[in-house]
Amino acid sequence: MARLRARALAHIVVRPFLAVVPLLLTVLFAWLVMDDRLSFGGSEKEIVLAVPLAIWSLAYLGCHVVLWWRRAMVARSVAISSVLATGVVAVAWLALFGARWLR
């Protein structure tokens, strides 16, 4: 019985942690870039690097929450969320690239 409670507690702690960590790391990355503690050449354009990361993090969070709600296993949720979030960023990039050519 205690083992079952420990497992349930692990799910309560681990699942939200895995869902939110990429978003927290994105905020940390953006803060480090804006505060000039992390520099990729000394340009103001560096913050643009945080935009695709933020899109990926939000897509990952959304997918992870939906898969958690559908009671998927943790490893499967992480894998599917990562692939779908990467697909969302790729589609957004292709849409922006295609919009450039339509001008």
Average pLDDT for 60-66: 96
**Residue where the block lists tokens 């894998």:** 79
Give the model's pLDDT for residue 87: 97
Average pLDDT for 21-37: 91
Number of domains in the chain: 1
Give the model's pLDDT for residue 37: 84
Is residue 4 very low, low, confident or very high in pLDDT (cuts 50, 70, 90)? low
Is residue 85 very low, low, confident or very high in pLDDT (cuts 50, 70, 90)? very high
Nearest to 51 by CA among 34, 65, 63: 34
φ/ψ of residue 17, rounded to 5: -60, -45
Domain enclosing residue 85, as ranges: 2-102
pTM more than 0.75: yes
Bigger pLDDT: 41 vs 32: 32
